[in-house]
């Protein structure tokens, strides 16, 4: 695949991730624990990780976080998401090449570590360990949303013929 | 899904449950509410006494303590997430308002004595 095609795909997929962020910002989610959300943009990140590679996935994820932060969030949310998405990609990269894990497992790991990154930043900002209490709930929500996102990615991979390496 | 996926999900859920039980075991009922702004202690309030606490010099958040439960009733931040957090009463439970950097934490008296000793 030519380089210009790859750039075009990356652009389209980043735009898709941004749209997912926007859609998600329209859904108000209020639970006892803040931070629970579907993580729709992760669909694109996991998809890019499998179809294009880890560098591209990190690129799409970071650009998405920064742009979405400026459009729908604030500086604080950028900081949170950056920590979350970096840790998440790092964790997914560790297991996605292993044939013993499927897309769903990778997506679950990504979701859980995304939450872990945010909890760590929250602990640093408020200078308190009590935030860790939320992590138990966030782990469970990460597993649930991770499975949903994983299933979506499996279906997308069947239908989309993106394969740029 | 493959076998390792289930193992992974199992481990994560097990961690969550252990974490939750450990935390609840570690906690007990608390007696005081400690309000921290920007990492600096703002004030200590009695949980058994019904009262309304205005936090911050400009009154960025308002905390209500009623019937042994503490909860946030007002916040000037745009998202207002702390208003939706569950009310707290157990030791080490907390309500956090990140935009205003306000942490409301329940502590038991015994532990604050330890804290004093540790200092």
Tokens 């998600």 belong to residue: A24
Of A136, A97, A93, A98, give the one whose Cα is nearest residue A115: A136
Q: How far apart are CA B78 and CA B76, in angstroms?
A: 7
Measured between CA atoms, how close is B84 to chain A, in angstroms? 6
pLDDT at B119: 41
Which residues of chain A neighbour B12 with C-beta distances below 8 Å? 108, 112, 139, 142-143
A27 pLDDT tier (thresholds 50, 70, 90): confident
User: Is some CB atom of chain A closer than 8 A to the CB atom of B87?
Assistant: no
User: Is some CB atom of chain B closer than 8 A to the CB atom of A143?
Assistant: yes
Measured between CA atoms, how close is A20 to chain B, in angstroms? 20
What mean pLDDT do residues A137-149 have? 90
Give B98-117 pLDDT, tens digit per residue: 888 888 888 876 654 455 54
User: Is some CB atom of chain A closer than 8 A to the CB atom of B69?
Assistant: no
A30 pLDDT tier (thresholds 50, 70, 90): low
Mean pLDDT of chain A, nearest integer: 86
A32/B9 touch (CB, cutoff 8 Å), yes or no: no
Mean pLDDT of chain B, nearest integer: 80
- Listed by number, the residues of chain A in 23-62 with a beta carbon closer than 8 Å to a beta carbon of chain B are 30-34
pLDDT at B42: 87
pTM above 0.80, yes or no: no
Tell me, letter by letter, the H, E, C secondary structure of A12-53.
HHHHHHHHHHHHHHHCCCCCCCCCCCCCCHHHHHHHHHHHCC
More confident residue, A86 or A162: A86
pLDDT at A55: 93
**Residue among A101, A128, A140 minimizing CB distance to B5:** A101
pLDDT at B38: 84
pLDDT at A61: 94
- The residues facing B35 across adjacent strands are B43, B104
The residue count of chain B comes to 119
Which residues of chain B neighbour A32 with C-beta distances below 8 Å? 84-86
B39/A131 touch (CB, cutoff 8 Å), yes or no: no
More confident residue, A64 or A27: A64
Give B12-64 pLDDT, tens digit per residue: 899 888 888 877 776 667 788 888 888 888 888 888 888 888 887 777 888 88
Q: Helix H segments across chain A?
A: 3-26, 41-51, 54-72, 75-96, 103-126, 132-159
B12/A143 touch (CB, cutoff 8 Å), yes or no: yes
Which residues of chain A neighbour B81 with C-beta distances below 8 Å? 30, 34
User: Is some CB atom of chain A closer than 8 A to the CB atom of B31?
Assistant: no
Measured between CA atoms, how close is A17 to chain B, in angstroms? 23
Give A129-141 pLDDT, tens digit per residue: 666 767 888 888 8
What mean pLDDT do residues A13-21 have? 93
Closest residue, chain B, to A145 (C-alpha): B9
- The residues facing B29 across adjacent strands are B90
Of A58, A33, A68, give the one whose Cα is nearest residue A140: A33
Tell me if A46 sits within 8 A of A108, measured CB to CB.
no
Give A31-74 pLDDT, tens digit per residue: 555 667 788 889 999 999 998 899 999 999 999 999 998 988 78
B98/A126 touch (CB, cutoff 8 Å), yes or no: yes
Give A69-87 pLDDT, tens digit per residue: 898 878 888 888 899 999 9
pLDDT at B55: 85
């Amino acid at each position: 695949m030519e380089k210009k095609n790859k750039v075009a795909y990356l652009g389209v997929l980043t735009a898709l991730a941004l749209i997912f962020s926007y859609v998600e910002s329209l859904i108000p989610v209020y639970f006892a624990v803040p931070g629970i959300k579907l993580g729709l943009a992760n669909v694109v990140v996991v998809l890019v990780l499998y179809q294009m590679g880890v560098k591209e996935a990190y690129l799409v994820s970071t650009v998405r976080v920064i742009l979405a932060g400026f459009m729908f969030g604030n500086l604080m949310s950028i900081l949170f998401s950056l920590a979350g998405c970096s840790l998440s990609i790092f964790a997914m990269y560790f297991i996605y090449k292993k044939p013993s894990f499927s897309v769903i497992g990778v997506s679950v790991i990504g979701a859980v570590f995304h939450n872990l990154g945010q909890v760590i930043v929250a602990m640093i900002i408020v200078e308190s360990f009590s935030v860790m209490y939320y992590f138990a709930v966030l782990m469970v929500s990460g597993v649930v949303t991770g499975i949903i996102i994983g299933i979506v990615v499996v279906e997308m991979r069947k239908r989309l013929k993106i394969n740029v390496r | 899904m493959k076998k390792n996926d289930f193992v992974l999900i199992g481990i994560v859920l097990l961690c969550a449950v252990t974490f939750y039980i450990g935390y609840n075991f570690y906690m007990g009922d608390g007696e005081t509410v400690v309000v921290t702004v920007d990492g600096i202690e703002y004030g200590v309030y009695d949980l058994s006494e019904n009262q309304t606490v205005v936090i911050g010099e400009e009154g960025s958040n308002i905390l209500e303590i009623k019937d042994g439960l503490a909860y946030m009733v007002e916040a000037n931040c745009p998202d207002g997430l702390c208003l939706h957090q569950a009310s707290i009463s157990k030791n080490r439970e907390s309500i956090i308002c990140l935009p205003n950097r306000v942490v409301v934490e329940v502590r038991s008296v015994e532990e604050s004595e330890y804290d004093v000793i540790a200092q």
